[in-house]
Amino acid sequence: GETKVLKLKNLRPQDYASYTCQVSVRNVCSIPDKSITFQLTNTTAPPALKLSVNETLVVNPGDNITMQCSLTGGDPQPEVVWSHSPGPMPPNSLVQGGNLTIWRIRVEDSGYYNCTAINNVGNPAKKTVNLLVRSMKNATFQITPDVIKESETIQLGQDLKLSCHVDAVPQEKVVYSWYKNGKPARFSDRLLITRNDPELPPVTCSLEIIDLRFSDYGTYLCVATFQGAPIPDLSVEVNISSETVPPTISVPKGQSTITVREGSRAELQCEVRGKPKPPIIWSRVDKELPMPSGTMTMETYDGKLCLESVSREMSGTYKCQTARYNGFNIRPREALVQLNVQFPPVVEPTFQDVRQGLGRSVTLRCTMLKGSPMKVATSVWRFNGTLLAQPLAEQQDYSELKVDSVSRDTSGSYECSISNDVGVSACLFQVSAKAYSPEFYYDTPNPTLSQKQSKNYSYVLQWTQKEPDAVDPILKYRLEVRQV
């Protein structure tokens, strides 16, 4: 709606008074006027707020918290409202005046909580609390061979980096500890701890081994901790030995192309070799197409991508590639699998009204627009339900039938059933020499009196004929009148 503003400058004592804003709709009697009155006094002031908590509040899951939003100014008395973004207020919350209480807080209750005070004087006052609920998940590791020497394998005498990462809130409060063969790792000039490597995700902890030696082989354990918080630790284990090798990926023999029927189950498979074996990331080669799950990628640990109730839209080329985490941090290895989803023909036209003059010929064509496989296996023509003699269909995407002479005997319903290896679809044609039904014009002038003193009216009726040249010339029209 439209907003009107009254501004008062250089206030005088007589300006402190009642002001009424009245709204009316001109020339409409049935809509009553609306008005609102505002009392301006020498104490009138916009709202002001303060919070009882910090603007960033970190809590543990399961805690009960209360955030108090207090008014420190405002006349008339402001209204205080709490809101949450993104999404609505959590169901385990209660607002009482300016107090917001959340019981048994959950990770999904994180977000921005906004306290807003409004009294229609000046701008609303707003305070925001960024509520963070501590959480930690998805511990992963990376093995990075000597970057300077552009190596993709672990070799004695070269440098090696082991990296550990967890998804946590707040991320910067995570403390990482490293162990070798069950004992705390002893750091030295050859064993270094680094954080915030620009080549790795933020707040990743790395253990760098300079000039790798045989004695450095062993089992390394990375433990992520929230110190002083009741959040379970997460850990990830990395084995380094002469058997630790980068991954290779391939498609099993005979599995490069998978052909299934629409609605059935499909299984795409890639084999990964190496130690350790990283997860496999699946995606469509056409980057604009999402995966069947709706996401752009899908992760599997056994190399198998199982698709239930496949549709024709799932056809295409899928790419499997090794992840850079829980394995070697090197150029991903990848392979391709083609999925062909077979489905019945989609034909055109599904129905067509064919008009032709007597004695003329007409050719009927049923075309396969889509289908898999995209070729006509069989085509069968019927006239008024009776099977017509038809030569075997060639490997093409349509079938034709020629009616040599349209007559009373050859007029009727023609059906063409086209099949591929999956199913059948049909085109229907209605052939006749009859003219199309005439259509009246309904925008003709109003009736007029035949004579000024007469009560008789005259009407001018007009009609049109659809495609008059489609059939033989029309010899006559018959007009029927029915009294209502």
Residue indicated by tokens 């070798």 = 180
* Interacting residues of 333 by C-beta distance below 8 A, sequence separation 6+: 247, 248, 249, 321, 322
Q: What's the mean per-residue pLDDT of the chain?
A: 90
> In this predicted structure, which of 33-42, 198-207, 267-276, 387-396 has the lowest mean pLDDT?
387-396
Task: Average the pLDDT over each of 32-36, 108-112, 221-225 and give the range with the smallest value.
Answer: 32-36
- Give dist(CA 108, CA 114) in Å, integer: 17
Specify whether domain 246-340 bears CATH 3.20.20.140.
no
Strands 125-133 and 56-59: parallel
Closest CA to 266 of 245, 277, 282: 282
- For 136-243, CATH gives 2.60.40.10
CA distance 371 to 189: 67
Task: Give tens-digit pLDDT for 298-312.
Answer: 999 999 999 999 999
Polymer length of the chain: 484
CA-nearest of 227, 229, 269 to 249 is 269
- According to the model, what pLDDT value does residue 28 have? 63
Q: What is the CATH number assigned to the segment(s) 345-432?
A: 2.60.40.10
What is the pLDDT, as a whole number, of residue 25? 78
Is pLDDT at 43 greater than 90 in this prediction? no
Question: What is the distance between the alpha carbons of residues 199 and 208, in angstroms, rounded to a whole number?
Answer: 14
Per the model's pLDDT, the better-predicted residue between 196 and 142 turns out to be 142
Of 41 and 452, the one with more pLDDT: 41
What are the residue ranges of CATH 2.60.40.10 in the chain?
136-243, 246-340, 345-432
pLDDT computed for residue 449 by the predictor:
59
Name residue, tokens 């996401």.
Answer: 295
> What pLDDT, on the 0 to 100 scale, is given for residue 76?
87
% of the chain beyond a pLDDT of 70:
95
Rounded Cα–Cα distance for residues 350 and 343 (Å): 17
Rounded-to-integer distance, Cα 402 and Cα 74, Å: 88
pLDDT in tens, 157-172: 999 999 999 999 999 8
**Surface-to-core class of residue 300, CB atoms within 10 Å of its CB (0-12 exposed, 13-18 middle, 19+ buried):** middle
Burial of 214 (0-12, 13-18, 19+ CB in 10 A): exposed
C-alpha distances (whole Å) from 154 to each of 118, 149, 240, 260 are 65, 11, 9, 42
Confidence grade of residue 467 (pLDDT, cut at 50, 70, 90): confident
CA–centroid distance for 453 within its chain = 74
Tens of pLDDT, residues 262-293: 999 999 999 999 999 999 999 999 988 999 88
Distance CA 343, CA 345 (A): 7
Quote the pTM value.
0.73
DSSP class of residue 375 equals S
Q: Of 32-41, 75-84, 337-346, where does mean pLDDT reach its minimum?
A: 32-41
What type of residue is 293?
A: S
Of 18-32, 87-101, 115-129, 425-439, where does mean pLDDT reach its minimum?
A: 18-32
Task: Read off φ and ψ for residue 297, nearest 5 degrees.
Answer: -140, 160
| Among 42-56, 442-456, 462-476, the least confident range | 442-456
Among candidate residues 135, 114, 128, 138, the one with its CA nearest the CA of residue 59: 135
> Distance between CA 273 and CA 45 in Å, rounded?
72
